[in-house]
Structure 1
Amino acid sequence: MTQLNSVTGPIDTSELGFTLMHEHVMVAASGLYDYYPDLLGDNREERAIDCLKKAKAGGIDTMVDATTFDLGRNAPMLQRVSEASGVKIINTTGWWLDVPRFLNSVSANQMAREFIKDIEEGFRGTDVKAGIIKCAADRDGVTPDLEVMARAAARTQVATGLPMMVHSFPTGQVARRQIKIFKEEGVDLTRVKIDHCNDTTDTEYLKWILDQGCFLGLDRYPGALVSPHMRTVTLKRLMDDGYGDRLCPAHDCICLHIMKERPDGTMPEVHQFQEQNPDQFLYMHNHVIPDLKGMGVTDAQIHGLFVDNPKRFFEGG
């Protein structure tokens, strides 16, 4: 058993329970929750608490909140939502895709020092500590700015031993370059989870990632590029090929997001991502797990995907 940082304090891996490994309580922009909160709609915090209470009642014990600074992380809000809902939340340091020009020429070592402070001291002005590290690259590949962040995240992993979650672009096989960087930096690849991998059905590429030692985040449901059913077919194929102990299904669901005014000046009742997935964090229970069971997956295997695998990932196995 291993202790890790949740937003309400240290927890043991034995307490994780049913865990979704890539979700978002909120996605916005850095500082927006404090300075332009009305863009998130009315009753923001109450809506987030209600959303997670429903998740808890539906069987979700823990979620990894993948919202970095540039995606608008608000650690005190996450802490309050976790306490009020009963869902344990593990938040991340690191960086997503939005690297501002003012950070051009900042070194990987500089950023790593900041990320390490998030883990060891807490996000500035709070007692909330990061429990995982994130970096990202997308359809443009690992750009120079994103390479700095990737190397900073990698150096943070080596220094702290914490695991990494990696936003990737599977249709461009971007993880090949990301993993090369991690190897150069001395990262233990068994502590790396390459995410958004069910945006492709190319199991040969996905098995290559797994063969490097990484975990796989099959964490876009219902998603857009691939049908939900084919995402689950891909998951089942990987299980059948013997990789079931390193697969982590999740949604990449967003609870709070910008509410965008319609052309006629009226406001929608829910944001665009909730329209696409009204089940929110329970899509897995309502659709994916029944689909898996229809394919012959056992309760023990499902327990492995959502309980054993997250625990093993955080414990370093």
Structure 2
Amino acid sequence: MTTVETLEGPVLVEDLGPTLVHEHFFVKNPELEANYPNPDWDEEAMVEKAVNTLAALYDRGIRTFVDLTVMGLGRYIPRIQRIAAQTDVNIIAATGFYTAKDLPMFFHNNGPGLMIDGPEPLVKMFIDDLTVGIADTGVKAAVLKVVTDTPGITPDVERVMNAAAIAHQETGATIMTHTNAALKTGLLQQEFFKKAGVPLENVVIGHCGDSTDIGYLRTLMDNGSTIGLDRFGLENLLVDTKRTEIVAELCKLGYAEKLTISHDAPLFTVNRSAAWRASTVPNWNNTNISDNVIPALRELGVDDDTVHQIMVTNPARILAGTKAAQ
């Protein structure tokens, strides 16, 4: 029987249920906030907000929440453990490093051919997170996360992606990505991972929902990857009506088995104020898909079996990784 690691331990893949595959609880910058406290952050209030949000999601039928908050985004598992202890929703953690350009100085000093010559530290970090546990929490990550944005595959981004490829080959964990859809960086990721020996079926190209270029999206899927239409509510980039139409069109074209939908919506982010979010992207929240997107998809002719494929079957396959085939 195939299981998937969650904050509360392994869960049978068939028990994951409807899943939001690309979300965040809290995006933080600990050093910045320690020196310049963010007025929007209140630890206890935010934990309570997360618990209440998960309760609302559970009431709407969501059973699994994938938190793709990794190093570079302020991942702190003990805080998420507090949330997990108060919810019936499965929470899944990720490993990886979020950087669009440069790694911290530690990685410029430590690694192959550097001042402190030795193995690539990112490889051990990622594999340990997946197989041993994150720090001393005992919580194991289930997926890998990488980023390729405006700068492209910089030397440091290449280190992260190469470490993720090695970790995938060692563990079978799926690689989930952040892309710049306008620049079609998903194609760069596919080229890199194919050369690195990662089957593209094991790479989910994220943030594809920011694009209306059906040809680009079809190419990514025809190459083997599942795509993430995973920013519903972030309407400053693309309105939800158009995002929904793209999902429906891809379903009609026969790509339902290659689609996931989500929000990429943190309950708190140090990078965007609560006031900005309220005024600019009021629907960028974790219940938007349940309340608005799925009803809109049904109106566009997407039937219940297809919704189940996108919300249950595809996420389960992704989260199981290659373990399901072993």
Q: What CA deviation, in whole Å up to 9, does each residue of 1:109-139 have, x standing for no partner?
A: 3211111011111111211110101111112
Equivalent of 2:106 in 77, 102, 115: 102
Superposed, 1:1-317 pairs within 5 Å as 1-30=1-30, 39-42=39-42, 43-97=45-99, 99-104=103-108, 106-107=111-112, 109-223=120-234, 224-258=236-270, 270=274, 272-273=276-277, 276-278=281-283, 280-315=285-320, 316=322
Q: Is the 8 A contact 2:144 2:175 kept in 1?
A: yes
Cα deviation digits, residues 42-79 of structure 1 (max 9, x gap): 32211221222212222211011010021011111112
Q: Distance in 2 between matches of 1:6 and 1:32?
A: 29
Amino acid at match of 2:82: R
Q: Using the TM superposition, name which of 185-194 and 31-40 deviates more.
A: 31-40
Residues 44 and 12 of structure 1: is their aligned pair in 2 closer, same or farther, counting only changes over 3 Å? same
Change (3 A) 1:93 1:271: farther
Question: Is 1:39–1:258's contact at 8 Å kept on the other side of the alignment?
Answer: no
For 2:55, give the aligned amino acid. K
Q: Which amino acid aligns with 1:280?
A: N
Q: What SS is found at the alignment partner of 2:286? A: helix
SS in 2 for 1:182: helix
Displacement of 1:258 after TM fit?
A: 3.3
2:47 alignment partner, SS class: helix
Q: Which amino acid aligns with 1:100?
A: P
Q: Once the 2 structures are TM-superposed, how far is the Cα of residue 181 of structure 1 from its aligned partner?
A: 1.3
- Where 2:288 maps in the other structure, the secondary structure is helix
Query: Paired residue for 1:264?
Result: none
Q: Deviations over 1:289-313 (max 9, x none)?
A: 1111111111111111101111122
Matched residue SS, 2:145: strand
Distance in 2, Cα, partners of 1:81 & 1:195: 25
The question of whether the paired residues in 2 share the 8 Å contact of 1:71 and 1:96 is answered with yes
- Structure 2: where are the runs of 5+ without partners? 113-118
Q: Percent identity?
A: 33
Aligned with 2:253: secondary structure? helix
**Partner deviation per Cα, 1:83-123 (whole Å, 9 max, x = no partner):** 21221111100011262243226458321111101111111
Deviation at 1:279, TM superposition (A): 6.5
String of CA shifts for 1:145-187, please: whole Å, max 9, x gaps.
1111011111110111111101111110111211111112111
| Secondary structure of the structure 1 residue equivalent to 2:5 | strand
| Unaligned runs of at least 5 residues, structure 1 | 261-267
- Pairs aligned (count): 309
Partner of 1:265: none
Q: Residues 306 and 274 (structure 1 numbering): CA distance in 2 closer, same or farther, change over 3 Å?
A: farther
Following the alignment from structure 1 to structure 2, what is the Cα–Cα distance between the partners of residues 23 and 280? 10
Asked if the contact 2:29–2:270 (Cα under 8 Å) also holds between the matched residues in 1, the reply is no
In structure 2, distance between residues paired with 1:2 and 1:37: 43
Q: TM-score, normalised by structure 1?
A: 0.90
| Alignment partners' CA distance in 2, 1:211 and 1:3 | 28
Letter in 2 for 1:168: T
Deviating beyond 4 angstroms after TM superposition, the runs of 4 or more aligned structure 1 residues are 30-40
Q: Is the 8 A contact 2:72 2:97 kept in 1?
A: yes
